[in-house]
Amino acid sequence: MSHLLEVKNLDVKFDTDEGRITAVENISLSVDQGEVLGIVGESGSGKSVTAKSIMKLNPGNTSYNEDAEIILDNENILQFTSKQDLKKIRGGKVSMIFQEPMASFAPAIKIGAQMVEQLVIHKNINKDEAKSISINMLKRVGIADAEKRFNQYAFELSGGMRQRAMIAMALSTMPKLLLADEPTTALDVTIQAQVINLIKDIIKEYQMGVIFITHDLGVIAQVADHVAVMYLGSVVEKGPVNEILKNPKHPYTKGLLQALPDINNLDAPLSPIPGNIPSPLDRPTGCVFRTRCPHHNPEGKDGKIEMKLIEVEPGHWVDQCGIQCGQNG
Amino acid sequence: MGDNLISVNNVSVNFDYQENFISKKQKIHAVNNINIKIKKGSFFGLVGESGSGKTTLGRAILGANKISSGNVIFHDDERDYDLTNMNKQDLKEYRKKAQLIFQDPYAALSPRMTVRDIIAEPLEVMKITNSRQETDERVRDIAAKCRLNIEHLRRFPHAFSGGQRQRISIARALVSNPKFIVADESVAALDVSIQADILNLLKQLQSELNLTYLFISHDLSVVAHVCDVVAVMYLGHIVEMGPSRELFKNPKHSYTKALLSSIPSIDPEKRSEAIELKGEIPSALNPPPGCVFRTRCPNPGIDCKGGEITMGLTEVEPGHWVDQCCVL
């Protein structure tokens, strides 16, 4: 069966005044219908750049490699150049929700008007139909007084409600793929729990594929079916969520888990990953994690081992340098 | 009083609020009738959602917010400072002894000053040192304690990562040799691996420099890891308070229970056991009478639903205090 979305060998580079930056290198991912792929990693690991590539939303100084493919519904998005084609993707087949909904809604336009506008563009319907779809969607995401909220501005809503409205807007065009970029990071835990449950219900109901980006491994454990762990633009480990969190192989994944305060195990010391993420301008050759790896083997340390994912268990892929290091520690 | 550093007695903080110039003046009850004692050398945690009044209380204890009623006493070695009744000279002295670490290390540091100048500024402003040489010495000393490279002192903040910047903020807060630190969401903006590093640093500095912390955070797992005593706030009230392990193992208040169950578990097999709270935190302009949590409480009693039970803490175990509405 073919996947809903397949990303193959994607490199993303940015041309800047200081030189060419590799933001993402050789990434391959796939998402099926009704499945949630979680992407975790620290700031600067390339999570958001990967997601934005799927909508070709990266800025003008971006270049993609020629043999890369992003296939959605049997079409290669990277080949799209005309506005017409891109419009089908952006907000049509693919929708995105962001971390800070205040920044994503236009502040001076009513929420309802923004929802109607995109529906009219994508669905070829008139304004009245669009309005009733929007109000139903607002009700579906648990907003009380949907008719009243429809005529309000983003600043009149609380943080949790704004995020619900954002989700309603993203879903109203019935996209096949939803990109959620840190959608719960700015929310309080009780509201986060509400929003996570809402997203899970909706995925089940509409059978869409989801890419869920977060730095919070707890959130990943709650929503994702598969996980890809990213570090400095590369996927260092990927597989089913249970495997990755309970049986991590790569020293970076292990490090992330050890740095996380666990409320059920208060005696465990918090161990930070030593050092800092290197600047993408001097990205290490070979294994990208080698400058911070606590268990590096001599060859990995010299950068002689190339990055390559190897399948260690069915569906569980680990970078080859990380497999050796992981065995040492 | 011997082992307490801070006593907060019946403190309330209200703000005046006027929606526009013709509407009626209203009062926002940000912090209501708070009583806490912070022991010397303790790591006191304050948790709650946004809008619960954590930051306002922290600022009130530092003397940065006006206290509407009640008082805050800082017990120094030689004398007590009463924050509600302090002259300028006392306030200056108090500022040296109580300092604040902010949440966002990107906003807290001036981009036009070198790291050395940023750390030295409190010394100069408070006229603690007498010569440039002495200032430099103290800056270098505290920078080393905060694991900053001495060569980095000549650089500007933009050259540093989030974790390094937070270490600069910590050095700046500690350079005047304070006894009491309010850390307001100081690790919230950091990645997990850096967060662990900063938490370890705060712990280490605490024992090296005999510090007492008020640690404000919305992240319960972090608070559970570092704090000795924890107070849970909701809509301006403390609803539960006690030794951290006891409180997290044996929470009594429905709000604490709901908060704990909302933390996403790292175990994918333990999905969705969260006690889901309906709705959102009410406005502090007109908080519900009686128990403030009753509008969202998953299992309210008949009396508290009507708002007939007033707020007040009861001791259920030695040192473990719970709002009486949830005990009955």
Q: What ipTM was estimated for this complex?
A: 0.81
> In which residue ranges of chain B is pLDDT below 70?
1-2, 272-273, 328
The pLDDT of residue B131: 93
Selected residue of A157, A163, A188, A250 to mutate for chain B interface (largest B Cβ count, 10 A):
A188
CB B211 within 8 A of CB B178: yes
The pLDDT of residue B307: 78
Cβ-based contacts of A188 with chain B (< 8 Å): 49-50, 218
For A272, the closest of B193, B259, B276 (CB atoms) is B193
| Degrees to nearest 5, angle at CA A39 with A34 and A44 | 150
**Contact criterion met (CB < 8 Å) for B280 and A255:** no
**Contact criterion met (CB < 8 Å) for A188 and B269:** no
Cβ-based contacts of B274 with chain A (< 8 Å): 193, 197
The pLDDT of residue B2: 66
The pLDDT of residue A227: 96
Pairing of strands A177-181, A209-214: parallel
| A159 in contact with B, Cβ within 8 Å | yes
The pLDDT of residue A199: 87
- Which one-letter amino acid corresponds to residue A87? K
Measured on CA atoms in the order B282, B284, B288, B291, is the torsion positive or negative? positive
| A193 in contact with B, Cβ within 8 Å | yes
Touching A: B residues 171-210, CB under 8 Å = 191-197, 199-200
Selected residue of B148, B185, B192 to mutate for chain A interface (largest A Cβ count, 10 A):
B192
| Degrees to nearest 5, angle at CA B293 with B292 and B299 | 140
Helix, strand counts (H, E) of chain A: 13, 13
> In which residue ranges of chain A is pLDDT below 50?
none
Chain B residue with CA closest to A254: the answer is B193
Chain B residue with CA closest to A252: the answer is B193
The pLDDT of residue A1: 58
CB A106 within 8 A of CB A92: no
Burial of A177 (0-12, 13-18, 19+ CB in 10 A): buried
Touching B: A residues 261-320, CB under 8 Å = 261-264, 266, 270-273, 276-277
Using alpha carbons only, how large is chain B's radius of gyration in Å?
A: 21
The pLDDT of residue B78: 84
How far apart are alpha carbons B11 and B252 in whole angstroms? 24
